[in-house]
Structure 1
Amino acid sequence: MPDLYYFPTATCGYKARLTLAEKGVDFTHRVLDRDAGELVTPEYLALNPNAVVPTMVHDGRVLIESSIIMVYTDEAFDGPSLRPDTAIGRAQVAAWLKRADDAYLPALGAVTYGLFRRKQILLKSAEELAAYYLDIPDPERRAQRKSVVENGIAAPIVAQAFLTLDGMLADMEEALAGNGHLVDGGYGLADAALTPFVSRLDELAMDWMWARRPNLAGWWDAIRQRPSFGTVFDAFLDAKRKAGLRDAGLESREAVEKILAS
């Protein structure tokens, strides 16, 4: 049985957990407390030097990076195949996973921190704030986080992030035309990979971004009906966090609309 290390609201943790749920794989939950510093303990850094989640340990082997874990899960365990049989179909899945990792994930992080998480972080003392930034091992990521926390939606990276995510939604709308899933062949890894991104925008009351995208709206309705969605997204319900995300999104709507109209 694999072990999966994650924290409850991690986008990439959602991706891995959705894949495990769709495959019907039992696993040991190793739930970490990000705010308590459990991503930077010597024990966890020995598994994942990047100090991020998820991390899977299976048969004594350590796997990091959510997309790698997703593909491994599909190949290593019994259950329905989550990738097409055709070479072109698998290439299309790989393209979605790459875009999710390279473009959409940094964008969603900037949006989440710029609208919501910064409010909690700015409550820290000066000493706590300095320690918080130092716990981010990558210098570029540390500098970006500092800019987002200090400037919020006014940070250039946050504005660009909304444009990136709007482009993601446009690409999804096009891919879903005449097809209920992102890649021909039924529900698969591409759908699982993109679900947490749409979910976070929905939590931020940004569902207006797909009001005129009927293919995407239909896909999102269907995704929320899947048993895996409830298994993963209802596992750690936090009413205070939910309300905070929604309020942050509503407060920012006018600014976001201006960004997207520019």
Structure 2
Amino acid sequence: MLKQQRDLMLDTRGRDAMRKAGQANAALMDHIRPHIKAGVATIEIDNLVQQWTKENGHRPATLGYQGYPKNCCISINEVICHGIPDERVLVDGDIVNVDITTVVDGWHGDQSETFLIGEVTEDKRRVTQAAFDCMHLAIEAITPGCNVATIGQAIVPEAEERGFSVVREYVGHGLGRQFHLDPTIPHFPNRQSRIDRLMPGMCFTIEPMINVGSRYTRLDKNDGWTVRTKDGQASAQFEHSVLMTEDGPEILTQTVDGPKKGHQF
């Protein structure tokens, strides 16, 4: 085993710290959940994230990260990821991904959900369902010591069978005392993901971004963060932090009130 891999494998204390961070992050998601609805501006959601995080003695990982200006990412409709909260008000028919990362005693919990606002189009509902199902299929597929490509091998055929595409430029990542660690977790199989392995003690995110249309992306040059689908069609994403144990994957960021495996949107 490579030393780099050994360095990413947490001991009992580190695993428990990551469980605590994941549980706190999930509690935050449940806290903001009732407020993600039509008539609410995305900056109001960001303010709730900031307030809850501060009151609980934690820190939002995104604020100031490489210059990012807000406490979470909120991505609406054709925005794939890294949408910046602002005065835009959610309206009936939107789908919106809220991505939160909380630093708890120096350890990171990271997750996202896509929410349906009122009555959405069938394409938006179906792509949201596909992103959720693909995430859980990937979690179910991985086993101790498997290669990272197992994740993409579960996601790509499922998404394509439903007529959707998988974003390649933006991926999951290792997680721990740092926001982004090795290994990189692409949601499609590639050469490196066939080499890298998920050993017991490793923490990482699985966060497939699924597009209604083509997989290609476009970065907003004005803010340097917002990523949209190149064709302007909708995109959906779900994310969990996962710990690989000796017995298999453990979801660290499961909410009490949010969707669980098998949920139908």
Q: TM-score, normalised by structure 2?
A: 0.29
Rg larger in 1 or in 2?
A: 1
Q: TM-score, normalised by structure 1?
A: 0.29
Larger strand proportion, structure 1 or 2? 2
